[in-house]
Amino acid sequence: MKDRLIFFDTTLRDGEQSPGASMNTAEKLRIAVQLEKLGVDVIEAGFPAASEGDSEAVSAIAAKLKKTEIAALTRTAKEDIDLAWEAVKHAVKPRIHIFVATSDLHITHKLLSTREQILQDIIEAVKYAKGFTDNIEFSAEDGSRSDRDYLCKVFEAAIEAGATTINLPDTVGYVVPEEYTELLKYVQAHTPNIDKAVLSVHCHNDLGLATSNTLAAIKAGARQVEVTINGIGERAGNTSLEEVAMAIHTKQNIFPLTSNINTELICPTSKLVSMITGILVQPNKAIVGANAFAHEAGIHQDGVLKNPLTYEIMKPETVGLGGNSLVLGKHSGKHALQAHLKEMGYDLSREEIQIVFKKFKTLADKKKNIEDEDLESIVTEGILRTSDVFCLDYLHVTSGTTVFPMASVKLQINGRKTQDSHYGNGPIDAAFNTIAKLADTDAELLRFSISALTGGTDAQGEVTVRLKDGGLIALGRGADSDIIVASAKAYVDGLNRLEYLKKRPKQLLS
């Protein structure tokens, strides 16, 4: 009988700690619903003690989902645990996830504590949490750099106090697979009661080894993996859910395990997370990148035409990519649009379809054919964006070889319309200067990039900007067949995300 691998998704907690990836409650809820459809076993919905917004989001997700375990992260402080329980208590399967650092480096320099005190804190915290639920996870932050014997002592005490899942994270992505395997085996051999808990791993990608380390850990006996969609997360990111899921699916001879992941929903989930967070998936990203199933070399093309297995180790359909030939244009009806959107993974309400259909018709008058990427852009702009502080109402730009670039902008700020004009070095600079003047912002533009969402001269252009205001950094995205309009949309989107970040306290990191 095959063992089952538990997928613990932390996209909404650790993934959100990516610079510029902060999400509001509505956006988190939409991703959580999709993760449940994907088959994730546990969703770490947030860190309630970090902010009121985080607590609200965790509560909303706990109340909404019907099958998935919902975990809330907490430090060892009783007040943190109280907040975590208050946020997850309405979940079908609530989990309290307690963490504290166990490496001497963190204990001495960050926590200003001692091994003995940290051990006592762990015991007291787990026992206290057990008064709320039996579903308790304990994580030894920076476990891969902790003293082995102390780590075993900590795990033994945590399990004895009531922890049912023990997590040994590689918090800073420091180890290589061989080291991780040896460490996990040592811990299992020297923790007397380890068989009473599920062994979990949480890897970061600082050396590009997060997935490799996670797979090595599975071979060494770990039965829960902590992952994120698209591998997003702090610094270089976390282990990618899609990479582990497809490694297990593809290499059953090496990993004879089962999981609840519906692999056909991997790509739709990846796209949803990318659109909501504003973090683009690199084209050569494994499984979900645009080039993952693309073949350009003549020899490869010839081989794939004769037999796809010559250069593809998995079918595109397995991860949710299909060869749908339905062409959408200005003569298409609402039902055809709704059916196609559902195939793409968007199960929209009647009101949402109405909004998307109106924007679809407007774009269809400008383009002969509407591609999936166009529809994703429409859904992002029309549905996934919630109420914003700033809204672009009107843009008019004058530019050319004999005139000084100038932009006239009408902006809605909290529903109040205001307009002005300003000059710039070019049409986009003029638009940005005018918007910044109206918004009264000194935000610094750190990055500006343009890409084509679709092919052809009538392609939709997508602009991504990275803005910095004080210590806050946010991404903004905008798409339009007019690249200047797309740029203005991206700038406004970035300002809105900065406003959202300003309203919440700085998130505590773990």
Parallel, antiparallel, or unpaired for β 444-452 and 6-9?
unpaired
Positions of the chain with pLDDT lower than 50, given as ranges: 296, 323-327, 505-510
Q: Give which of 444, 386, 409 is closest to 53, Cα–Cα.
A: 386
What would the DSSP string read from start to end of 31-100? HHHHHHHHT-SEEEEE-GGG-HHHHHHHHHHHHH-SSSEEEEEE-SSHHHHHHHHHHHTTSSEEEEEEEE
Instruction: Specify the residue for token string 């099958």.
Output: 67
Kindly report, residue by residue over 343-376, the tens digit of the pLDDT: 776 778 888 888 888 888 888 887 766 777 677 6
How far apart are alpha carbons 90 and 83 in whole angstroms?
Answer: 13
Q: What's the pLDDT score for residue 386?
A: 55
Tokens of 153: 């002592």
Angle, helices 177-190/148-161, rounded to nearest 10 degrees: 50
Q: Give which of 387, 385, 336 is closest to 357, Cα–Cα.
A: 336
H or E element that contains 492: helix 483-502
Quick check: 49 and 88 in contact, CB under 8 A? no
Q: What's the pLDDT score for residue 278?
A: 84
Kindly list the distances between the CA atom of residue 374 and the CA atoms of 343, 462, 476, in Å, as whole numbers in the listed order.
15, 10, 18
Alpha helix positions (H), 365-462: 372-379, 427-439
Kindly report, residue by residue over 110-122, the tens digit of the pLDDT: 999 999 999 999 9
What pTM did the predictor assign?
0.78
φ, ψ (nearest 5 deg) of residue 232? -70, 155
Q: Which domains does the chain have, with CATH numbers?
A: 3-277 (3.20.20.70), 293-320 (no CATH), 324-373 (no CATH), 390-502 (3.30.160.270)
Q: What's the pLDDT score for residue 503?
A: 72
Q: What's the pLDDT score for residue 296?
A: 47
How far apart are alpha carbons 318 and 2 in whole angstroms?
Answer: 21
